[in-house]
Amino acid sequence: MRITDVKCAVIGQNPVVRVVTDQGISGYGEVEAYKPYLKPHVLHLKQAIVGEDPTDVERVMLRIRRRGSFKPWGSAVSAIEMALWDIAGKAAGVPVYKLLGGKIRDRVRVYNGSVRFPMAGQSPDHYAENMQKMKEAKEGFTIIKQGVGFHSAMPARVPGFSYGEVRPQTHGFGGNRGLLTERGLKHVIACVEAMKDVLGDEVGLALDCGPGWTKADAIRFARAVEPLNLLWLEDLLTGDYTPYVDADVYRDLSMSTSTPIHTGEQIYLRQNFKELIERQAVGVVGPDPCDVGGIAELKWVAEYADLHSILMAPHGTGDGVLGMAALVQVCAALPENYIAFEYPTGNPAWWYDIVDGLPDPIVKGGFIDVWHQPGMGIDFNVKAAKQHLNEEDRDFFD
C-alpha cells in the first residue's frame, strides 16, 4: 500500500486531513476548529510522504515530525499521524486501540470540554447558576471544568481585577497577564467556592485558569482552594499557545501546594514533556492529540508520566467528532494514570449527519463506550458530507 495524495479541507469550522492510498483506503484526521489556516501547512508536508507505506506509521512520521512545533504549528503533523493510524486500522480490520497495545478499559471517562452554557455574568452567583446547568446536562458528566481568572471574562468585566493591561482575548492572540489585586484574587476564590457549593462531592471540579498568573498569585490561589479538593488547576503560568514550558516555575508552584497543577495542551512532542515529568513539576499533564504530534505521541507521554506518578487528562475541546474518535481509541489504551479527556463536539451540529459509526447517545453517565469498528471507527457519509464542502474543496472526496 502506498500514499498517493494528501488533501485538506475546512469542513464546518474544523480543518480535516485526508490521506489517500492506492488501495482505495483513506484515513482522516481532524484538528481544532480555531485553526482554519492549517490547509497550506498540511499541503506543504504532502511531498515528503507521497509514495510511502501509510501502515509504517513511525517511518512516515520520521519524514515530517521535525516540521512541527508548539501549538498551533504541530497541528498539521498531528492530523496526518491520526489519518495514518486510521488507515492502518482499516487495512488490518481492527480498531486503532488494538495497534496501540490493546485496550485496558471498555469505556473512557470524559469531562465537559465543549459542552458549555453561556455565562450570564462573572459573579459567584453566575458561576453557581452555570454549574447547576452543567450538573444537569444530559451527558451526566462526573467531572466539570470551568474557566476562571485569565481564562475567563473576569479581567475585562470585574472592576479592578488586576494591575495589568486588559487586552482582547482571541485564540492564539493577545491574552492577559499580570498581578492580581487583592479584590481580584478574592473574587476568583469566591466564584470557585460558589461552584463547589453546587457540585458538592458528587461531581469533580477542575479549573482552567490561564495562562497569565504570576507565581506568587498562583501559590496564594492554589493554597486558598486546598480545602475544596479540586481535581486540578490548569495553565496557571504558561499553557495555551505559549511556546515554552517553564518547568522550574511550575515545580515551585507544585511543591508549594497540595492542589494538583496541570498543563500541557500546547506542547509538541514527548521531548518537551520530559522536564515537566522528570522534575515532578506538575501533577497532571494534558497533551492534545491534535497538537502533541498525534495519538502515539500522546500515549508515550502518558506512559512516561505514569512512571513518575503523574496523572493524564488529555485536552481536546475543539477537536471535533473525528478528533473525539481518535481520543476514544488512544484513551482506551492509556495506562491507569488516565483520568478523563476533554470532550469535543461537532460544530455545526450537522457534523453528526455527515459521519457514520458514532453511538447514540455518545456520552452516557460521563463515559463513552469504546467502539470496535476498524480504524478510528467512524467514517464520512460522503454523499452527505459533500453538501458542506467549500467550493475550493469540491474534490476533497474524489
- What is the per-residue pLDDT across 106-127, written as a single tens digit (0 to 9) for each? 999 999 999 999 999 999 999 9
Nearest to 75 by CA among 265, 314, 238, 292: 292
Q: Name every residue whose Cβ is closer than 8 Å to that of residue 356 and which is 6 or more positions away in sequence.
A: 378, 379, 380, 381
Q: What is the pTM of this model?
A: 0.97
What integer is the mean pLDDT of 45-71? 98
With 80 as the cut, is the pLDDT of residue 326 above it?
Answer: yes
Place of cell 456520552: 363
Read off the pLDDT of residues 4-35 as tens digits, 9 standing for 90 and up.
999 999 999 999 999 999 999 999 999 999 99
Read off the pLDDT of residues 221-269 as tens digits, 9 standing for 90 and up.
999 999 999 999 999 999 999 999 999 999 999 999 999 999 999 999 9
**16 in helix, strand or coil?**
strand
- Amino acid 165: pLDDT: 85
- Amino acid 236: pLDDT: 97
336: exposed, middle or buried (Cβ count in 10 Å: 0-12, 13-18, 19+): exposed
Secondary structure of the chain: what % helix, strand, coil (to 5)?
Answer: 40, 15, 45
Structural domains present in the chain = 3-94+382-393 (3.30.390.10), 98-374 (3.20.20.120)
Read off the pLDDT of residues 207-222 as tens digits, 9 standing for 90 and up.
999 999 999 999 999 9
Read off the pLDDT of residues 267-285 as tens digits, 9 standing for 90 and up.
999 999 999 999 999 999 9
- Amino acid 167: pLDDT: 81
Q: What number of H helices and E strands is found in the chain?
A: 14, 16
Place of cell 499521524: 81
With 90 as the cut, is the pLDDT of residue 166 above it?
Answer: no
